[in-house]
Amino acid sequence: MADLSVKVAGVTFNNPLIAASGTFGFGREYSEFYPLEKLGGISCKGITPTRRDGNPPPRIAETPSGILNAVGLQNPGVDAFIRDDLPWLKQQNTVVIANIAGNTPEEYCLMAEKLSATDVDMIEMNISCPNVKNGGVQFGTSCESVGAITAAVRRHCTKPLVVKLSPNVADIASIAKAAEASGADALSMINTLTGMRIDINSRRPIIRNNTGGLSGAAIFPVAVRMVWQAANAVDIPIIGMGGISTWEDAAEMLMAGATALQIGTVLFSDPYAPIKINEGLNSFLDKNGITSVTELTATVQPW
């Protein structure tokens, strides 16, 4: 058996597979399938300062090889998470990552401060949110805004800080460098691509929000490309995600430069996907005489 453990920003995961934010809730439903300690970690559903009911339906729809969603960050709020969900999560013997989302820098800083006083293991900052103080432009779309929000949250965050990057940018490497320079301990990438589908009979978009985030196997090649570009630009570890569905995908993402992985959309069709991916990775490592999964990271050899 190869060693599947990895370390990200000083935090040790017993394997590289992390349930991605927004696809796993707070883990209770999936714990009916298997002990959550079989996962390397859980990135919890995105948390906001107060309760959100999310967008009106329809807000999720299948597309070829993927899902289009505009759920709208439905969640109970940071205080309810700390009170009701975190104590249970900390009993599951896996790494707990709190994912935060806000509309102003002050909201992010408030949550980072509150969560830093708890026993979450890491904080993941979703910067694919509209900055209402800057005309609704996403925090993650320019080097300046990424640097500013990362630096602000860094001052309030005593936990390892992971910055989750949006793929809806022109130069992902520069964005990654801006996050690193401003205090990020690690990056997670990529978040969903903006997409849209139309019902040709009603002539309306298939989701009420008109546009939404595209995830699933359809975006995997984009994710691999962006992880590879970022890995060649920064020295901090990268948690790779975006359409990982099989152990072969996982190996590919590691070779592109990821240290750990998040899987999401595939969980809706196969809750056991992370178990299967870990088993497949282990067999691949054993077959090739590789003693540790860390030996795969950043080993791609471009032409």
- For the sheet with 193-195, list strands across it: 60-63, 66-69, 212-215, 193-195
Whether 276 has a pLDDT exceeding 80, the answer reads yes
pLDDT at 1: 86
pLDDT at 56: 95
Contact assessment for residue 150 and residue 184, using Cβ atoms and an 8 Å cutoff: yes
Place of tokens 């990057």: 165
pLDDT at 9: 98
Sequence-distant (≥ 6) Cβ neighbours of residue 32 within 8 angstroms: none
pLDDT at 128: 87
What distances in angstroms separate CA 171 from CA 112, 142, 143, 229, one per listed residue?
27, 9, 9, 9
What confidence tens digit (pLDDT) does each residue in 27-45 have? 999 999 999 999 999 999 9
Neighbouring-strand partners of residue 242 = none
**Residue 66 lies inside a defined structural domain of this protein:** no
**Residue 203 lies inside a defined structural domain of this protein:** no
Token pair recorded at residue 157: 């965050």
**Residue 206 lies inside a defined structural domain of this protein:** no
Range of the domain at 88: 6-52+74-192+216-296
What confidence tens digit (pLDDT) does each residue in 137-170 have? 789 999 999 999 999 999 999 999 999 999 999 9
Task: Indicate which CATH number applies to the domain containing 273.
Answer: 3.20.20.70
pLDDT at 53: 96
Q: Which of 44, 129, 143, 157 is catalytic?
A: 129
What confidence tens digit (pLDDT) does each residue in 227-275 have? 999 999 999 999 999 999 999 999 999 999 999 999 999 999 999 999 9
What confidence tens digit (pLDDT) does each residue in 121-135 have? 999 999 988 777 777
Is 129 one of the catalytic residues? yes
**Residue 172 lies inside a defined structural domain of this protein:** yes
Say how far apart CA 61 and CA 38 lie, in whole Å: 29
**Residue 200 lies inside a defined structural domain of this protein:** no
**Three-state SS annotation for the chain:** CCECCEEECCEEECCCEEECCCCCCCCCCHHHCCCHHHCCEEECCCECCCCECCCCCCCEEEECCEEEECCCCCECCHHHHHHHHHHHHCCCCCEEEEEECCCCHHHHHHHHHHHHCCCCCEEEEECCCEEHHHCCEEHHHCHHHHHHHHHHHHCCCCCCEEEECCCCCCCHHHHHHHHHHCCCCEEEECCCEEECCEECCCCEECCCCCCEEEECHHHHHHHHHHHHHHHCCCCCCEEECCCCCCHHHHHHHHHHCCCEEEECCHHHHCCCHHHHHHHHHHHHHHHCCCCEHHHHCCCCCCC
Whether 55 has a pLDDT exceeding 90, the answer reads yes
**Residue 101 lies inside a defined structural domain of this protein:** yes
**Confidence label for 26 from pLDDT (cuts 50, 70 and 90):** very high
Contact assessment for residue 190 and residue 165, using Cβ atoms and an 8 Å cutoff: yes
pLDDT at 22: 94
Q: How much is the CA Rg of the chain, to the nearest whole Å?
A: 18
Say how far apart CA 67 and CA 165 lie, in whole Å: 19
Neighbouring-strand partners of residue 152 = none
**Residue 301 lies inside a defined structural domain of this protein:** no
**Residue 221 lies inside a defined structural domain of this protein:** yes
Token pair recorded at residue 193: 């691509």
Token pair recorded at residue 276: 């299967």
Domain count, the chain: 1
pLDDT at 140: 94
